[in-house]
Structure 1
C-alpha cells in the first residue's frame, strides 16, 4: 500500500483510506451433485462392474450384475422384484456384496408376501457366496426382491448369479444353464432384467425445494451480483459512507455499553471478526455458505458443517435472516428423500449427493435451531413450511440410530469428533432429547400429532438418568451386541506376530475412538443448545449441574505444564490454562480413545462456560473464559483469531452464548416476551440484538429496562427469573 503524503519527524497526520475489492467470478466449487435419476436405483439394465467413483467391484460371475451404485452413486433407492416362482429346490445360492445395511440394502425371499430369508453385504465391493436353506418352503410360491432403500455411505447392494438347486456348490459360477435339478433364477447377463420389475421414486424435476438454487458452475460472491464493477462498489461506499459508519458506530456503542466482565465482552467481540473473514461466504442470492475455518490460501473443512456450526450463536441474533438461509440449505438441498442430511453442503448451493454418514449431532442440532429461528423471527408461516422436512429429518434419526425406540442413540452415530459412537452416551443423546423436545413444541403449535416424540422423550430421559449416569456425570456405554450394525474386529493378518496380543486387547475393548467412562466436556452439549434456543430444562437439574461441576473439576487445568498432548499442542500448552476435551478420572480410558481428547478447543470452552453460568456457576465459567483469553492476549497468538482446524474458526462463536449465560436475556418474538434471568445480580447492563432491533437491556434495582438504539422490539410482557415485571423503556 502506497500513500503519497509526507510526514515530518515527530509529526502526525490522519489518513482515511478506502479499500474496495471486486471478484466477479471464482473457480470455487465443492460437493458432488445429487444426480437426478432416469429411473430407480437399478437403472434400466444390469451393471457391467464398478461405476464412476466406486471402488473396484470384484468376483461377480460373467459380465453383468446388479449394482445399485451404478450409475448415480448411493443416493438412489428402489426395488427389483422377480416374477413369482415355485420353490422346487432345497437351496438358493447367490453372490452378494455392497453395504451392510439389513432391511435397507439387501436381498429378500418372500413367501406369502412375507420375508422369510434376508441377506446383506459386508461393506465390501467383493462379492461372496451366500446360501439359503429353503427346504421347509419347498412347493410354495415365492418371489425374490432386491432392496435398496439406503442412502449415504455404503447405501447400495450388489447381487449376481442366483441359482436354486437340491445341493450346495462351493463355487456355482460355472453353472451357466438350468437343468438336472438346477434352476438359474437370474444371472444378469442380458441387456435388461427380463421379467423382473424395477421400481423406484419419481424423478424430482425442481432443482431444489424452495426454488432458489444457484445455477452457475462456480461460487459467485454476493457483491458481484449486486454491483457490476469495482467502480460501482467504490461509488456505493463513498456515497453511503456516513450512513454505514453511523450504523456501525451505533452497534459498537451499544455493544460496549455494558457492565459485564471485560473478559466476556472481549471474548464475544474478538470472535465477531469471524463474520468478516473468508470463513463466511455469501452467494449472489444472499444465502450463506461457510467453511469451518480458513487457511492462508484456501478454506478449511467445507460446507457450513452442521456439527461445527451448532456451537456458533452470533449470526442467529445479529443477522437472523442470514442464519435462516443455513436452515434452508440443510433441510432442502442437503436433505434426501429418506431424511438423511449431508452435513457438508455443496457450493454453489445445490442438491448434493448423500455419500457419507449423516452427523447425528449436526442433524439433531438443526432441529433445535429451526425452533430457535422460529422464536427469534416470530414467523410461524416459515415454521409451517419447514415442518414436513423437520419431521422427515427427525424420523430418519429415530429409525437410523434408535430403531428399537429406546429414546437414546444406540446404533453407531457420526459426530463432531469425526467418528462414530457405538452405544448410547450423553453427548449425542442430549441432542436427541433436545430435538424431540423442539419437535414436540413445534408440532403442538401446528396442531400436529407428536405423541411418538413425547413417548420417546420420556423413555430417553429415564434411560439417560438411570442407565448412563454414574452418580456424578453422564457417560457412554460402549455397545457392539444387539445392534443392526456389526462390529468388525481389527485384522491381525497384516501385522507381525508381535502385534497379535496388542490387537487382541484392542478388539476386546470394542471399537476404537470411544470415550466410555470418560468425563467429556461436550457430554451434555445438547442441553446447553436446548437452553440457548429457549427450550428450557429437559433432564434432572441436579444431575445436569453435577455433570457441569465434574467437567470443571476434572477437565479444567489452570496450568497444562504436566499435561502431555501429542495431537495439536499449539492450541494450549506449557503454563497456559485450558479445558481438556475429555479426562478419565475414574479409570477406563481406552487404549485408543478419540484422537482429540487431549486437546483444548475454544468453542468447547465457551459452551461449557456459558452452560456453567446458566446454572449459576459464574466464577467457574469465568475461570475458563479468562484462561482462554489469556492464551489469546496478543503476545503469542492473534487475539482476533482463535484457531482450530483453520483460522477464524466458527466454533469459537459459542462465545456469544456467554451474554445469555450471565444475564439470561432472551427475546421471544412469537410470544413477544423478554426473558431475564440474571446470574450477575440485580444491577447490570448488557447488549441485546433481535430480528427487528438492538440496544441495551438490564436490571436496575431488580427492575427491567431496555434502551433501544436501532429498529424496534415489540414487548408485551417481561419475565425476570420467572416473575412478571413492568418494563422501563429508556
Structure 2
C-alpha cells in the first residue's frame, strides 16, 4: 500500500500533467509514446485522483475553477473535457456525464473542506448549484431525474465511454452523494431552501435504491434488456444525427440493448460511497448492503490468475497475474450479449479505490490481496512501477491509490472547523505521513501516546479525533500543558492551536474501560 501510494505520485510529474500560463492545473488522462492520451482534465477519470487534492490543494481547486467557468453550457450541463484554447473550448462537443458532473460537486465540497475557504466556495456556488439542478432540468436532453425522485433514470454517459439506461447504484450513488454535498454547502452559504430540497430528494433516492437495486448480495442495474422503448424519446445532443440511442444501442441480432451491466457485479457499483466516506459525507448506501456488495465484488471479480478469464478487450493482466475485473456475471445472472465496454479488463485505479473502500469497511485481508495483485503486475519486471497503464501510461486514475493511505490511517479532515483525526484500520502502533491544507507532517500513535508533528507549513487545530476507544489524559504543546475537553473520541481544545514547522503536540492516552 505504501508503494502504491508513493510510486504513483510520479504521475503528477509525468507529461500527463501540465500547468497553463496562469498556473492552473490541466491534464490528459495518460500518455502515449509521442503524445498525450485523452485531453481535457477528464472529469470522470480525475474523480479518482485524490493525491493532488491533498498534496497540492491549490492546484486541485484551480481544476474546479476552470471546469465551472469553461465547461458549463447555457443549460447547466458540464462538458467532461476542458478544451484548449480555453475560450474556444466552450464549443466542446463532449456531452455532460453523470459521474463527471456529480463528481465535480462532491470534489467542490471536498476542496472547500480541505481549504476552509468560504469565499472560494461562495464564488463557485451559483454554478455548482446550477450543475446540481441540471439533474432535473427540463433542458437536460438526457432526462437524468426529471421527477426529482433521487434516482437517475435517463440516458447516463459515464466513465465507460458509453451510456447506461435504467437505474443503477453506480451513477445514482454519485447523484446521492452530490445531493448530500450540495445540501451541506447550501447550509454554509445560507441557502436553506435548496439545502432542504436536496435532502428531500436524497432521502427518497436512498430509500428506493436500497429497496430496488440491491439483489440480496450486491447492487445491479434495473433494466429490461429486451425493451427497445427505453432508448426512445431522447433529444439529439446538439442535433447530431449520430447521437440517436435507438440506433446505437439496440442489437438487431439478439434483440437486446447493448453495452449495459444488467445483473452484473460491477467493481464501481458503490464507488460513490468511497467518495463519501473519504470526503466526510454520510454513507451513500445502507452500510450492511455496501459491505455485502464489496464482499461480492471480491468473491466474483477478483482473480488470483487470469488464465481462465477470457478478455476480448485491452490486456493489463495476463497468465498467472492477478487482478479485479470491472464486471462479472455470477452464476444465475443474465449476461448481456454485448455487455458494457471494458468489462473484462482490470483498471488499477478502480482496483485501488475498491481496496481503499474495503479498508474503510474494516475488510483488511481482501484489501491487501487486491493491492498485492496490482503491485505484483507493476513490480518492475514486466511493467514500470511508476507508470501504471489504462488508456496510456502514467494514467491519472491510478492516483486513487492515495486513498489507501487515508483509509489505512482513518484520516479525517475539516479545515472549516479546524479539525483532523486518525482512526487506524490496523492494530497500533501507527506511524504515518499526513498532509492537510497548509501543512504536512507525521503522526505516531501507540496505545499510550499520540504525537502529531508538523514538518512544514502552518496548521490550525481546534479539534483532534483520537482512535476509537481511547481517552486523553494529558496534552502538551512543547513545554506547555493545554486545556481541553473530550466528547466521545474527539478532543476539543480551549483555543485554536497554531502549529508551525517543527512544532508538535503530544497526547498521553489510555484505553477506555468497557
TM-score calculated relative to the size of structure 1: 0.60
Q: Give distance in 2, aligned partners of 1:347 and 1:708.
A: 39
Q: Give distance in 2, aligned partners of 1:676 and 1:536.
A: 17
Please give the per-residue CA displacement for 1:273-305, whole angstroms capped at 9, x wherever unaligned. Answer: 001100001011000110000111100001000
- Give the deviation of 1:675 after TM superposition: 2.2
Aligned twin of 2:83 = 346
Does structure 2 retain, via aligned residues, the 8 Å contact 1:682–1:702? Answer: no
1:270 equivalent to 2:16? Answer no
1:724 equivalent to 2:490? Answer yes
Aligned twin of 1:465 = 210
Q: Give distance in 2, aligned partners of 1:484 and 1:671.
A: 47
1:539 equivalent to 2:285? Answer yes
- Give the deviation of 1:349 after TM superposition: 2.9
Does structure 2 retain, via aligned residues, the 8 Å contact 1:291–1:301? Answer: yes
Does structure 2 retain, via aligned residues, the 8 Å contact 1:704–1:725? Answer: no
Aligned twin of 2:423 = 677
Does structure 1 retain, via aligned residues, the 8 Å contact 2:29–2:395? Answer: yes
Does structure 2 retain, via aligned residues, the 8 Å contact 1:283–1:348? Answer: no
Output aligned runs, 1:509-520, within 5 Å: 509=256, 511-520=257-266
Please give the per-residue CA displacement for 1:350-397, whole angstroms capped at 9, x wherever unaligned. Answer: 351142321110010000000000000010111111111111001112
Does structure 1 retain, via aligned residues, the 8 Å contact 2:379–2:385? Answer: yes
Aligned twin of 2:159 = 416
1:362 equivalent to 2:128? Answer no
> Which among 399, 418, 441 is matched to residue 184 of structure 2?
441
Q: Which runs of 5+ in 2 are unaligned?
A: 236-243, 469-487, 494-503, 507-514
- Give the deviation of 1:316 after TM superposition: 0.4
- Give the deviation of 1:488 after TM superposition: 5.8
Q: Give distance in 2, aligned partners of 1:621 and 1:654.
A: 14
Output aligned runs, 1:74-223, within 5 Å: none
Aligned twin of 1:629 = 375
- Name the larger-Rg structure: 1
Does structure 2 retain, via aligned residues, the 8 Å contact 1:472–1:550? Answer: yes
Does structure 2 retain, via aligned residues, the 8 Å contact 1:336–1:354? Answer: no
Aligned twin of 1:456 = 201
> Which among 340, 344, 359 is matched to residue 594 of structure 1?
340
Q: Give distance in 2, aligned partners of 1:688 and 1:491.
A: 48
Does structure 2 retain, via aligned residues, the 8 Å contact 1:561–1:575? Answer: yes
- Give the deviation of 1:503 after TM superposition: 5.0
Aligned twin of 1:211 = none
Does structure 2 retain, via aligned residues, the 8 Å contact 1:703–1:726? Answer: no
Larger CA deviation: 402-411 vs 349-358: 349-358
Aligned twin of 1:332 = 69
> Which among 416, 425, 432 is matched to residue 686 of structure 1?
432
Aligned twin of 2:254 = 506
Does structure 2 retain, via aligned residues, the 8 Å contact 1:411–1:484? Answer: no
Does structure 2 retain, via aligned residues, the 8 Å contact 1:697–1:706? Answer: yes
Q: Give distance in 2, aligned partners of 1:521 and 1:702.
A: 39
Does structure 1 retain, via aligned residues, the 8 Å contact 2:135–2:145? Answer: yes
- Give the deviation of 1:504 after TM superposition: 4.7
- Number of equivalent positions: 455
User: Do the aligned partners of residues 693 and 565 (structure 1) sit closer, same or farther apart at CA in structure 2, a change above 3 Å counting?
Assistant: same
TM-score calculated relative to the size of structure 2: 0.85
Aligned twin of 2:324 = 579
Q: Give distance in 2, aligned partners of 1:447 and 1:645.
A: 43
Q: Give distance in 2, aligned partners of 1:613 and 1:349.
A: 40
Computed over aligned residues only, the root mean square deviation of the Cα atoms, in angstroms, reads 2.0
1:388 equivalent to 2:126? Answer yes
Q: Give distance in 2, aligned partners of 1:702 and 1:309.
A: 40
Does structure 2 retain, via aligned residues, the 8 Å contact 1:439–1:453? Answer: yes
Does structure 2 retain, via aligned residues, the 8 Å contact 1:289–1:347? Answer: no
> Which among 568, 577, 581 is matched to residue 314 of structure 2?
568
Q: Give distance in 1, aligned partners of 2:416 and 2:164.
A: 37
Q: Which runs of 5+ in 1 are unaligned?
A: 1-263, 493-501
Secondary structure of the 1:559 match is: coil
Secondary structure of the 1:333 match is: helix
Q: Give distance in 2, aligned partners of 1:542 and 1:491.
A: 38
Please give the per-residue CA displacement for 1:471-529, whole angstroms capped at 9, x wherever unaligned. Answer: 1111101256577439865599xxxxxxxxx955532x2x2100010000011111111
Q: Give distance in 2, aligned partners of 1:442 and 1:528.
A: 19
Q: Give distance in 2, aligned partners of 1:665 and 1:554.
A: 30
Q: Give distance in 1, aligned partners of 2:91 and 2:372.
A: 43
